[in-house]
Amino acid sequence: MLMFALRRILVSIPVLIGITLILFIMLNVVPGDPVALMMKEHASPEVIERVRAQMHLDDPLVVRYLSFLWNALQGDLGNSIKLNRPVTDLLLKAFPNTLMLAVCAALVSWVIGIPAGILSAVRRDSLLDRFFMGFSLLGVSMPVFWSALLLQYVFAMQLKLLPVSGFYGWEYMVLPAIVLGWSSAGVSARLTRSSLLEVMRHDYIRTARAKGLRETGVITRHALKNALIPVVTIMAIQVSGLLSGAVITEAIFSIPGVGRITVNAISSRDMPLLQGAVLFATVLVILGNLVADILYSVLDPRIRSQMKKDA
């Protein structure tokens, strides 16, 4: 297992370097001068030129890329052009907020999604099934900016139960977590349902029932254990997705997280910051996939033995 994880981490190094290279080229191909964008209309061109030179933005592309790579290897992702602060600091300060949002959203998603999926599968084609599936379809298909506005209007403006937006305590977390969790709860619910239905058709379930086990026992002990394998995989990937920044949710609820940093970096062509943010997100996605694979092997002995062979 350890060998497997190590190998996966080693394999991801070229992926990371490749991504920085592609990003670097893309950012330099699209038009746009970060200094002109930062200083807006009210700066004179002489000042813009001077600042460009001071920031080494006039250096050749190769020199800039290599110096970025060299510094990145030493843990220094450079300074954000627009915010004039170390990129690493910015990301590390924003990450806990994103982490908190992601964890809360994931909890909402699982607490609603998985039981809903199980109940739907067990009571297939019942009114309950239709309700849960409709609810999850709504979550998946409703854009977050719309559900966010709707929930803000109802719970903050009309009922005055929760604050509209901001990030100053647990009650500020409720609406964004529901908004974000709802959309992924739909995925969890539908996946749990279809996977459970699939498993229920297998012979060993019939055998278990034939042995006279109670239906709850059949579902929890035999069916669920197997049905949850794909769900767990999706869960790990969902979390890494949530962690790399829930851009719209963060903007609507004014949460100072990684997503907002990334969007600001794109629109202001803040290359060091964008590079840092993308690198960060890439690492998270790679880690998310790794965790998913490991969980997979923990849950599924067939895969565990395959891994041993590979290692």
Partner 1 sequence: MTSKTTVKLLLASGLASLMLMSPALAENMLRVSYSEDPKTADGQMTTDAYTLPLNIFDRLVESETTGPGESALVPGLAETWDVSEDGLTYTFHLRQGVKFHDGAVLTADDVVYTFDRMLNPATKALNTDILTFIAGAEDRLDGTADSVSGLKALDDHTVQITLAQPYAAFLALLAAPGASIYNRAFTEAAGDQFGLTPETTNGTGPFILRDYTLNDSQMLEANEDYWRGRPKLDRLLVRVVSDSETLRMLFESDEIDVLDLDYAPTQTPYFYGSDQWKDQIRSGPRVGIYYYNINQLKKPFDDVRVRKAFQIAIDRQTILDKNFYGKGKLEDGVIPRGLTCYAPAEPIEYNPAKARELLAEAGYPDGVEINLQQVSSWSTKWSDMNQIIQAQVAEAGFKANIVTTDEAAFLDARKAGEAEAYTQVWSADFNDPDNFFYTFFSESGSKTRGYNNDDPEVFAGIEKARGMVDQEERCKLYQDLTARIVGEDAAWVPLFSLDHSYVVQPRVKNFVVPWNGWSDMNYFNVEVE
The DSSP annotation for 167-181 comes to -SSTHHHHHHHHHHH
Nearer to partner 1, 5 or 151 (CB): 151
By CB under 8 A, residue 230 contacts partner 1: no
Q: How many residues belong to the chain?
A: 311
Q: Which residues pair with 79 in a beta bridge?
A: 86
Shortest distance, CB of residue 151 to partner 1, whole angstroms? 11
CA proximity to 250, closest of 148, 130, 131, 125: 148
Longest CA pairwise span in the chain (Å): 85
Q: Which of 13, 21, 47, 137 binds partner 1 (CB under 8 A)?
A: 47
Shortest distance, CB of residue 183 to partner 1, whole angstroms? 18
By CB under 8 A, residue 213 contacts partner 1: no
Between CA 177 and CA 147 the distance in angstroms is: 12
185 Cβ contact partners less than 8 Å away, ≥ 6 residues apart: 108, 109, 110, 112, 113, 116, 136, 139
What sections of 123-170 are H helices per DSSP?
Answer: 127-141, 144-151
| Binding residues for partner 1 restricted to 54-83, rule: CB under 8 A | 54-55, 82-83
H or E segment and range at residue 233: helix 224-243
Give how many residues touch partner 1 by CB under 8 A: 52
Tell me if 20 sits within 8 A of 72, measured CB to CB: yes
Stretch that binds partner 1, among 199-207, 234-242, 255-263, 302-310 (CB under 8 A): 255-263
Q: Which of 19, 77, 87, 94 binds partner 1 (CB under 8 A)?
A: 94
Nearer to partner 1, 102 or 208 (CB): 102
| Binding residues for partner 1 restricted to 139-198, rule: CB under 8 A | 149, 152-153, 156-157, 160, 163-169, 171
- The contact set with partner 1 (CB under 8 A) reads 30-33, 36-47, 50-51, 54-55, 82-85, 90, 93-94, 149, 152-153, 156-157, 160, 163-169, 171, 251-256, 260-261, 264, 267, 269
